[in-house]
Structure 1
């Protein structure tokens, strides 16, 4: 009887020891996982496999650190872009804030549409109308004045659906990806269709991407001496549009190296992904974030006014780019506080 009891006691202790060991292994594995907000599905595996290939010395796919350049679109790739691009929301608020000084706007489109909350009329104004809004609300001020406006707006503005600051509506899985790449010798750049001076004030704090690693659209700026002080003054003229075919041009002008990895979410990123991956040289990586989660965020693709994903989605299948299904592949969507 004592032998049986001792055996059972020994077996119990052994089971406890095995369970404890398994718990420690699981815990260590979780702690060592650089992408904990990603489900263990194909996109995560593809990311890890790519990084291991290009960072393993003496392998045929090894890439020296100076050449490990990764480029990321911003709107819809790193943070929320619905119900409209965040910079557009900023421009609309600027129209309302400046309306008293511009009585002519109440009868002039697209400003009339903004002041009356007529989103249909605003959409009808198209790209030309949106550029006019940007020119009127982002120019005729110094560089420092504009940076201050952006920082103050982001500190108080709230997204209409989630009632949170826009800088909290960044994607936790993508923050982990940025950190994972940097930990493996990558230099990470933002290549945005949005304004370069709109993104720079907060990109380092939110994404860990310093201002010199932000590429974006810009308006013309000129140097002036004002009251003995050297100043950069923003003019109401388009300088460069960093979208679609403009993205490879912007990358070449600002970075001077062709990236080996590119991450986007829309047709505006198609040419950037093509430029990065269709080289015939070494291993390359392209990824598209597909918004499929209507419950936790939004679901949209081919017919969306903002962040349309149509041609790039078709190209992904042809070029073997990795497509992330947000609903299936991400455990978390937004930044963990």
Structure 2
């Protein structure tokens, strides 16, 4: 009997320690990836810690989930149809310090990787992007980055690419102190994902970023199956395939897979097409942050046989984030036009990354 009592005491101590540890995440330093992965929200939603609970967006979300999970509710949604889709950059992950993670990876690979010589076109693009980032108010923004992203990592195996990305994830973001790229997740939005998982939602990340990058950043940390990562795709080839068409090539005993060329950007209507193709069901919840997410958000709420909702994250915080009020105002009007719920990072989040993450001056 005493052994059982001691075990219970130890278990209680562990639970209390975990609770204290999680509480600290929203109060002090940026959370580590391990700490982000340990965030939990119960199915009742009674232990959210990073939200202002009087926020309209918080009230709308929790009311919605409670309503559609009650079996006696007319809005009840069966577990198998509880599908939520999230954009990544700017919705759950920083995209402003100073720019998208994928573009920062291009700069790192093309301009700073001493073990690699980038093709001339990729290096030229990286130099133009670097120059534009020094002052976004002057000069012309470079064109599409995705073909260059595919090119500079072409030929790498999955383990090689994963190792490169993970090394970069340890580097600090620019403009926010005490924060590494791999930790630059919006803690309140992580809580949303955990809350939905507790209520038996299938969570998908539907991003314009490259699919494997999404998997490395998000899937293991947030307990999202890798099959639930939908992103921009590059070709995947057998090592000895060369330019041989896949219909004519037979995988060899000494083959292995390598990354290939760009195949098309997963934005706007392409996100809807990918959801239909890869999930096969209409989502009932969608979260985004830019016009490129509009089709995905509208697909969730238009013509849905279930009660559904869309949420739009506004990067409008100038103190704890590198917000853009002009963009936020445009996004607020877009949300009003289409009927999406607005999430204000400034007004609705108690913290974004942890209160010791501060804006810092950066000279590029």
Does TM, normalized by the shorter one, top 0.5? yes
**Which range is displaced more, 224-233 or 56-65?**
224-233
Q: Which residue of 2 aligns with 1:77?
A: 91
Quick one: distance in 2 between partners of 1:176 and 1:79? Answer: 13
- How many residue pairs get aligned? The number is 300
Which structure: larger Rg? 1
Deviation at residue 259 of structure 1 after TM alignment = 0.5
Report how far residue 298 of structure 1 moved: 2.3
Match of residue 350, structure 2, among 324, 331, 334: 331
Q: Tell me, in whole angstroms, the C-alpha distance in 1 between the residues paired with 2:255 and 2:301.
A: 42
Question: Which one has more relative contact order, counting CA pairs under 8 Å at least 6 apart?
Answer: 2
Q: So what's the TM-score if we normalise by structure 1?
A: 0.79
How far has the Cα of 1:327 moved from its partner? 1.2
Q: Does 1:234 align with 2:282?
A: no
Q: Which residue of 1 aligns with 2:203?
A: 188
Q: 1:127-146 to 2 correspondence within 5 Å?
A: 127-128=143-144, 130-146=145-161
Q: Aligned residue for 2:46?
A: 33
Aligned to 1:44: 58
Q: Within the alignment, does 1:102 sit opposite 2:117 as a pair?
A: yes
Residue of 309, 315, 321 corresponding to 1:297: 321
SS in 2 for 1:185: coil
In the other structure, the counterpart of 1:90 is 105
| Alpha-carbon separation, structure 2, partners of 1:107 and 1:48 | 46
Report how far residue 117 of structure 1 moved: 8.0
Q: Distance in 2 between matches of 1:246 and 1:135?
A: 18
> Which structure has greater strand proportion?
1
* 1-structure distance, mates of 2:285, 2:122: 47
CA contact (8 A) 2:175 2:322 kept: no
> Which residue does 1:161 correspond to in 2?
175
- The residue matched to 1:110 in structure 2 has which SS? helix
Partner of 1:316: 335
Q: Which of 298, 303, 312 is equivalent to 1:288?
A: 312
Report which of the two has the higher share of helix: 1
Q: Structure 2: how far apart are the matches of 1:53 and 1:252?
A: 26
Distance 1:294 1:118 in 2: 18
What TM-score, normalized by structure 2, do the two folds share? 0.74
Given the alignment, which residue of 53, 57, 64 partners 2:67?
A: 53
- CA shift at 1:281, angstroms? 2.1
Partner residue of 2:300 out of 245, 270, 276: 276
Corresponding residue number in structure 1 for 2:274: 250
> Once structures 1 and 2 are overlaid, which stretch shifts more, 93-102 or 193-202?
93-102
List alignment gaps of at least 5 residues for structure 1.
Answer: 1-29
Query: What is the CA distance between 1:292 and its match in structure 2?
Result: 1.3
